[in-house]
């Protein structure tokens, strides 16, 4: 079945998954960081102080997510949406009126937990559970919401800053979430998808449904995380400290924001390619591949000082993000089954959130200690090369086990 035919037959569920991923942008680092300079100026925070506060808020959300994420195993997707999305809108409203560092920390915690954490978790868990033979395609199409958000929202947010200011911009998105987005997403997702005769049979599926306890005792799970956590750590770090990087290199802020479109296009293309590859070859065989462009992206950003480096980085990062966005949605159900998928994914998402917390915090402190930022970025690139080699051996063991 072609992508077009698959999209036509499953439009409502794929659209719902797409919108959940798109709306998660308001809790993603790239979006929050757009207000980073204004937030630091308002509360007189250094890069290290703001990064540390962001790290603590994100760590707290990572600790909360494994418990909150399990509700997807007990409530329908639609009911979960009715709980999460209004709270997410409230978090955006809080950002528009935050008056103290303590309240800022609480607001960041809620944005990270409900946006990056739960909105994405609901979408990808639904796609992983509702689809089998076409799981790779379903995940790849739903996660295009992330890339669309990354490509469109930075320019919109910067434009809103000019017209409304940063606080009123957050209030605008709060109203958008609760008044427009929530009714649409609920109507799309209120009917659970049932298998159809046009579905391909599942060719690669775990022979049993692993429990969360089984998963955390699996050595290959922790080995996989060495590769899985690389992209959220690196991407979040670069996006969070984008204001510092722009200042360091003397680049225009608007040019950096416009480069997100390049990343979004590349991510979309390679997310769709990865979906086809997963449906044909299985997720484990893709695991080592996605780290190679990420390594090249880091090294390129560190050594190219002209504004060309922005676009080289974004293009290569988009390739890795495209693979990662589809891969991480299909990998866990293929290896560990679907019965406890919500609980298992909540662990992996929490660990990804943890990685996104560590990146800005650690690098912010290193920046304050005058450790050259380009040297830090190069180190990330070499880590990806080492992790790709390890993932090659992990992939072979996973293929032999499934």
* Most trustworthy range by pLDDT among 22-26, 127-131, 145-149: 22-26
Q: Is 156 exposed, middle or buried (0-12, 13-18, 19+ CB in 10 A)?
A: middle
pLDDT for 335-353, tens place per residue? 887 666 777 777 887 787 7
Average pLDDT over residues 138-163: 82
Q: 245 Cβ partners below 8 Å, 6+ apart?
A: 238, 251, 256, 373
The rounded mean pLDDT for the chain is 83
Annotated domain spans of the chain = 3-191+209-401
Measured from the Cβ of residue 71, the count of other Cβ atoms closer than 10 Å reads 18
| The pLDDT value given to residue 338 | 66
| The pLDDT value given to residue 330 | 75
pLDDT for 164-177, tens place per residue? 888 999 999 999 99
Q: How confident is the model at residue 133 (pLDDT cuts 50, 70, 90)?
A: low
Ranking 190-204, 243-257, 316-330, 369-383 by mean pLDDT, the lowest is: 190-204
pLDDT for 24-73, tens place per residue? 999 988 888 888 888 888 898 887 788 788 888 888 888 888 888 888 87
Residue 202 confidence (pLDDT) above 70: no
The pair phi, psi for residue 55, each rounded to 5°, is: -65, -45
The better pLDDT of the pair 312, 137 is held by 312
| The pLDDT value given to residue 340 | 67
- Residue written as token pair 């199409």: 141
* Most trustworthy range by pLDDT among 88-97, 139-148, 187-196, 349-358: 88-97
Q: 369 Cβ partners below 8 Å, 6+ apart?
A: none
The pair phi, psi for residue 261, each rounded to 5°, is: -65, -40
Are residues 84 and 122 in contact, defined by beta-carbon separation less than 8 angstroms?
Answer: yes
Ranking 76-80, 273-277, 290-294, 338-342 by mean pLDDT, the lowest is: 338-342
Are residues 315 and 322 in contact, defined by beta-carbon separation less than 8 angstroms?
Answer: no
Q: Tell me, which fold does domain 3-191+209-401 have in CATH? A: Growth Hormone; Chain: A; (1.20.1250)
Tokens of residue 103, six digits: 């309240």
Q: How confident is the model at residue 132 (pLDDT cuts 50, 70, 90)?
A: low
What pTM was computed for the model? Answer: 0.69
Tokens of residue 353, six digits: 């959130």
Distance CA(390)–CA(215), nearest Å, equals: 19
Average pLDDT over residues 203-208: 53
Distance CA(391)–CA(331), nearest Å, equals: 13
| The pLDDT value given to residue 203 | 47
The better pLDDT of the pair 402, 73 is held by 73
| The pLDDT value given to residue 201 | 47
> What percentage of the chain has pLDDT greater than the value 90?
22
| Residue 350 vs residues 111, 224, 229, 299: alpha-carbon distances, Å | 14, 15, 11, 28
Distance CA(123)–CA(139), nearest Å, equals: 9
Q: How confident is the model at residue 195 (pLDDT cuts 50, 70, 90)?
A: low
CA torsion sign for 286, 70, 179, 10 is: positive
The better pLDDT of the pair 182, 35 is held by 182
Distance CA(61)–CA(355), nearest Å, equals: 12
| Residue 1 vs residues 6, 9, 128, 200, 279: alpha-carbon distances, Å | 6, 10, 18, 9, 11
């Amino acid at each position: 079945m072609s992508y077009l035919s698959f999209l036509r037959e499953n439009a409502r569920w794929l659209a719902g998954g797409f919108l959940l991923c798109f709306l998660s942008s308001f809790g993603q680092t790239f979006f929050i960081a757009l207000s980073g300079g204004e937030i630091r100026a308002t509360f007189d925070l250094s890069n290290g102080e703001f990064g540390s506060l962001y790290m603590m808020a994100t760590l707290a959300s990572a600790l909360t997510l494994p418990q909150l994420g399990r509700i997807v195993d007990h409530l329908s997707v639609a009911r979960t949406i009715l709980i999460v999305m209004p709270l997410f809108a409230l978090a955006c409203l809080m950002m528009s009126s935050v008056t103290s560092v303590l309240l800022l920390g609480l607001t960041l915690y809620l944005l990270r937990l409900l946006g990056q954490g739960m909105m994405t978790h609901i979408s990808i868990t639904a796609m992983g559970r509702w689809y089998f033979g076409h799981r790779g395609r379903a995940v790849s199409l739903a996660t295009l919401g992330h890339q669309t958000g990354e490509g469109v929202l930075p320019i919109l947010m910067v434009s809103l800053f000019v017209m409304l200011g940063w606080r009123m911009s957050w209030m605008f998105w709060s109203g958008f979430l609760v008044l427009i987005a929530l009714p649409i997403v609920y109507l799309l997702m209120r009917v659970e998808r049932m298998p159809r005769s046009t579905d391909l049979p599942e060719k690669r599926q775990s022979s049993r449904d692993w429990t969360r306890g089984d998963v955390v005792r699996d050595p290959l799970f922790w080995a996989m995380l060495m590769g899985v956590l690389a992209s959220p750590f690196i991407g979040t770090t670069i996006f969070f400290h984008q204001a510092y990087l722009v200042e360091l290199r003397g680049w225009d802020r608007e040019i950096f924001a416009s480069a997100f479109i390049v990343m979004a296009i590349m991510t979309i293309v390679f997310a769709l390619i990865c979906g086809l590859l997963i449906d044909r070859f299985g997720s484990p065989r893709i695991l080592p591949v996605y780290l190679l462009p990420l390594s090249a992206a880091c090294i390129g950003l560190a050594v190219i000082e002209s504004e060309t480096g922005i676009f080289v980085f974004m293009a290569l990062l988009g390739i890795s993000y495209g693979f990662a966005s589809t891969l991480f949605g299909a990998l866990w159900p293929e290896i560990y089954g679907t019965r406890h998928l919500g609980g298992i994914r909540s662990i992996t998402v929490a660990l990804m959130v943890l990685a996104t917390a560590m990146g800005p915090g650690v690098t912010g402190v290193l920046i304050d200690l005058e450790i050259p930022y380009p040297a830090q970025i190069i180190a990330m690139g070499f880590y990806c090369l080492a992790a790709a080699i390890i993932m090659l051996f992990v992939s072979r063991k996973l293929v032999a086990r499934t």
